[in-house]
Amino acid sequence: MRELLEYLAQSLVDDPDAVRVDEFTEDDGTVVLELAVGDDDYGKVIGRNGRTAKALRAVVKAAAVHEDRRVLIDIVD
C-alpha cells in the first residue's frame, strides 16, 4: 500500500523526488500513511475540492481491503 501511494503521488506532482510516504501502525492494526510532497505540489495532490485526495484514498483503501487491512491516509506539510 505504501508503494502504491508513493507511485500514484509521484505520477501527479512536478517534483517526484520530494514525495515521501511514512508508514505507522496503530494499536488496533490500522495502517496510517503520511504523504508529504514538495511545497508547490500540495494543490496537485489535494485537487479541486479534495477530489484527487479522495481518489487516492479510494484506490489505496481498495488495495487494503484486498489484504484485509484498514488504512488511513494523511496529507502532511
Q: What is the structure's pLDDT at 56?
A: 95
Q: What is the structure's pLDDT at 67?
A: 87
pTM of the model: 0.90
The arrangement of strands across the sheet holding 20-25 comes to 20-25, 31-36, 71-75
Q: Which residues pair with 31 in a beta bridge?
A: 25, 71
Angle between helices 51-66 and 2-12 (to 10 degrees): 150
Cell of 45: 495532490
For the chain, the domain total comes to: 1
CATH number, domain containing residue 56 = 3.30.300.20
Q: What is the structure's pLDDT at 75?
A: 94
Q: What is the structure's pLDDT at 77?
A: 81
The domain of 43 spans 2-75
Q: What is the structure's pLDDT at 33?
A: 96
Mean pLDDT (10-residue bins), the chain, 77 residues: 94 94 94 94 94 95 92 92
